[in-house]
Amino acid sequence: MPSATPQLLLRAAALGVAVVLIQVAAVSQVVLFGTNADLTPLVVAAVGLLCGSIPGALFGFGVGLFVDAALVQTMGLSSLVFIAAGYGAGRLRELRDPQAGVVPMVVGAAATAITTFGFGVMNFLLGIDAPVSFLLLRQILATIILNALIALPVFALVRRWLSPVLPEDPRRRRRRAYTTGGLSPLSRA
Amino acid sequence: MYDKTVRRRRAVLGLLVGCSLILLTAYFGEPAGGALHSVQRGILEVVSPIQEGASRALKPIRDLFGWVGDTVSAKGDLKDARKERDMWRATAIRNEAAAREADKLRGLVGLDRAPKSLAPYGPVTARVIGRSSTVWYGRIFIDKGSSSGIKRNYAVLGSDGDAQDGAGLIGRVESVTANAATVRLITDASMSVPARTVKTDASGDVKPKAGNPRDLILDYTNKNDPIGVGDPVVTAGTTSQRSDLTSVYPPDLPIGRVTRIDEPGSEDQEVHLAPFVDLQRVEFVQVLTKTVDGNR
Per-residue DSSP letters for A92-106? HHHHT----TTHHHH
A-chain residues within 8 Å CB-CB of B17?
Answer: 80, 83
A-chain residues within 8 Å CB-CB of B136?
Answer: 119-120, 123, 128, 130
Tell me what the mean pLDDT of segment B124-141 comes to.
80
B-chain residues within 8 Å CB-CB of A141?
Answer: none
Q: What value does the CA radius of gyration of chain A take, rounded to a whole number of Å?
A: 18
Residue A47 confidence (pLDDT): 94
The residue of chain A with its CA nearest to that of B45 is A70
B250–chain A nearest CA distance, Å: 26
Confidence of residue B100 (pLDDT cuts 50, 70, 90): low
Tell me what the mean pLDDT of segment B132-157 comes to.
84
Residue A154 confidence (pLDDT): 94
> Which residues are paired to B156 by β-bridges?
B171, B287
CB–CB of A79 and B129 under 8 A?
A: no
Residue B253's contacts (CB-CB under 8 Å, 6 or more residues apart) are: B155, B157, B168, B169, B234, B235
A97–chain B nearest CA distance, Å: 18
Query: pLDDT at residue B296 above 50?
Result: yes
pTM above 0.90, yes or no: no
Are β-strands B155-159 and B139-142 bridged in parallel, bridged antiparallel, or unpaired? unpaired
pLDDT in tens, chain A (189 residues): 556 688 888 999 999 999 998 888 888 877 777 778 889 999 999 999 999 899 999 999 999 999 988 888 888 889 999 999 999 999 998 888 887 888 999 999 999 999 988 888 887 787 766 556 677 788 888 889 999 999 999 999 999 999 888 876 655 555 555 555 555 555 444
Residue B114 confidence (pLDDT): 38
* Integer CA distances (angstroms), A124 to A142, B189, B227, in order: 21, 11, 32
Confidence of residue B110 (pLDDT cuts 50, 70, 90): very low
Residue A188 confidence (pLDDT): 47
How many CB contacts within 8 angstroms connect chain A with chain B?
Answer: 163
A44–chain B nearest CA distance, Å: 15
Tell me what the mean pLDDT of segment B215-243 comes to.
83
Q: In chain B, what percentage of residues exceed pLDDT 70?
A: 86
B99 touches chain A (CB under 8 A): no
CB–CB of A76 and B182 under 8 A?
A: no
What dihedral do alpha carbons A177, A180, A181, A183 form, nearest 10°?
Answer: -10
B-chain residues within 8 Å CB-CB of A24?
Answer: 51, 130-133, 141
The residue of chain A with its CA nearest to that of B283 is A29
